[in-house]
Structure 1
């Protein structure tokens, strides 16, 4: 007799938070190249989403560690659906004929500049995040089984090192190749990758506390033994 699907207290909230972070970091911050002058490092160029996008990887680590690869996969596809709708909406809004007044004469070129490249950003985000996030989740799930649930810090940081390498490189090459100067593009890729990896390591204590809380609250600690790791499936 088939058992009904198990319900969780916080899974849906984490999914909603993940989708929010994914949309905002890709559509608000990713298109801007920012610069800061730092001691020792000098002038550093980076994408303006740098401080926010890594949060999505923390969600991915928490989801895989607590709920398993299958439920993390469903959350990723939910994010992709939201990005697709955002891209469609941006396309429609940009191409609708503007009202004939002085405000819209100034505003229309601005909205085209901000959202006109949305299709490349979304395409880059989807392809990069599909590869990077599933690699991240796969590595973490396999390491959890191999270590029998020990060394959470190694799983979190190790999966991020691999996943962010794939994600960061693919996203910026797809979204901004031919738009930004090559030297600036490479500088952004390197700085983004290093910062995201370091940021994940710095945030590990918070990640560990979130994992411990959810395992207690949900009464679950999933191990992906015998899991189908096909990224295109939505089965749990």
Structure 2
């Protein structure tokens, strides 16, 4: 039974997608504390601008946005072949494991540090390793709550929009349902995380929340459009791997009866 399951191609794909999805989400959360200048990254001069009355804005983004667009690409691929229940399942798994990881971070930050280790990197400009460790892995609870809530809600929005578009277009216009659902869900994600973490948690003004939301979203919008060819490439490779008949059957199940993954495999 176990051997047959591991040799089943749809099962292999689902395991790979789930593993990458969870790992990518966890890494994005871990590196999200670093801010970087998009203009400097691209070798462009930094220009500040005003939006919604908020002055001095620039494309300063968290390092987590480098990975989050890939998460929505994976959502669309899983949605296409396994259906919305599979997307919700891996989303719940990701949230559970990210929550577990943050609990373990808190434990690690609070265990007593060895006195030798504290100054072990002083010659490298890090006089207190404990403070550095806490600074990297410690995030405010409002940010964690906002990030996880935004992730779950945006995933549900992505799934819903994706299937509404597909019901109207059928198998045509992959770019429309994939990119369209991502564009909508990324807007929801950008707003919710800022609202919870900074409007509720830090009492930011509405104009600051909306201004920074639109700055972040404009970046995500451009990246979502730019990644559209990647979706076509991945889907093409999956169809070749599964075979046209199996791929077509999986897509029909995902779109029609919306069976959970186990039932799709059982029907194979």
TM-score (norm 2): 0.74
Q: Secondary structure at the match of 2:66?
A: coil
Greater displacement, 195-204 / 110-119: 110-119
Note the residue ranges of structure 2 that are not aligned, 5 or more in a row. 49-57, 121-126, 264-268
Evaluate the alpha carbon distance shift between residue 176 and residue 141 of structure 1 in structure 2; reply closer, same or farther with a 3 A threshold.
same
- Per the TM alignment, residue 125 of structure 1 is displaced from its structure 2 partner at its CA by 2.0
Q: Secondary structure at the match of 1:34?
A: strand
Q: Aligned equivalents of 1:99 and 1:166: distance in 2?
A: 44
- Per the TM alignment, residue 79 of structure 1 is displaced from its structure 2 partner at its CA by 0.8
Query: Counterpart in 2 of 1:106?
Result: 128
Query: Counterpart in 2 of 1:169?
Result: 191
Q: How does 1:57-96 map to 2 (within 5 A)?
A: 57-96=72-111
- Per the TM alignment, residue 117 of structure 1 is displaced from its structure 2 partner at its CA by 1.3
Q: 1:25 aligned to 2:49?
A: no
Evaluate the alpha carbon distance shift between residue 155 and residue 26 of structure 1 in structure 2; reply closer, same or farther with a 3 A threshold.
same
Q: Aligned equivalents of 1:109 and 1:195: distance in 2?
A: 32
What's the Cα RMSD here?
Answer: 2.9
CA offsets per residue over residues 131-158 of structure 1, 9 Å max, x none?
A: 0011101110221122122111111121
Evaluate the alpha carbon distance shift between residue 54 and residue 197 of structure 1 in structure 2; reply closer, same or farther with a 3 A threshold.
same
Q: Aligned equivalents of 2:192 and 2:145: distance in 1?
A: 10
Q: Aligned equivalents of 1:204 and 1:70: distance in 2?
A: 23
Query: Counterpart in 2 of 1:205?
Result: 229
Greater displacement, 117-126 / 70-79: 117-126
Q: Check whether the contact 2:22–2:93 (CA below 8 A) recurs between aligned residues.
A: yes
Q: Aligned equivalents of 2:38 and 2:110: distance in 1?
A: 35
Query: Counterpart in 1 of 2:17?
Result: 14
- Per the TM alignment, residue 215 of structure 1 is displaced from its structure 2 partner at its CA by 3.1
Structure of greater Rg:
2
Which of 184, 208, 224 is matched with 2:255 structurally?
Answer: 224
Note the residue ranges of structure 1 that are not aligned, 5 or more in a row. none
Q: Check whether the contact 2:82–2:261 (CA below 8 A) recurs between aligned residues.
A: no
- Per the TM alignment, residue 22 of structure 1 is displaced from its structure 2 partner at its CA by 0.3
Greater displacement, 170-179 / 136-145: 170-179
Q: Which has the higher contact order (CA 8 A, sep 6+)?
A: 1
The alignment covers a number of residue pairs equal to: 228
CA offsets per residue over residues 57-107 of structure 1, 9 Å max, x none?
A: 000011101221111221111211210111110110111122234427711
- Per the TM alignment, residue 207 of structure 1 is displaced from its structure 2 partner at its CA by 0.7
Q: Secondary structure at the match of 1:26?
A: helix
- Per the TM alignment, residue 41 of structure 1 is displaced from its structure 2 partner at its CA by 5.7
TM-score (norm 1): 0.83
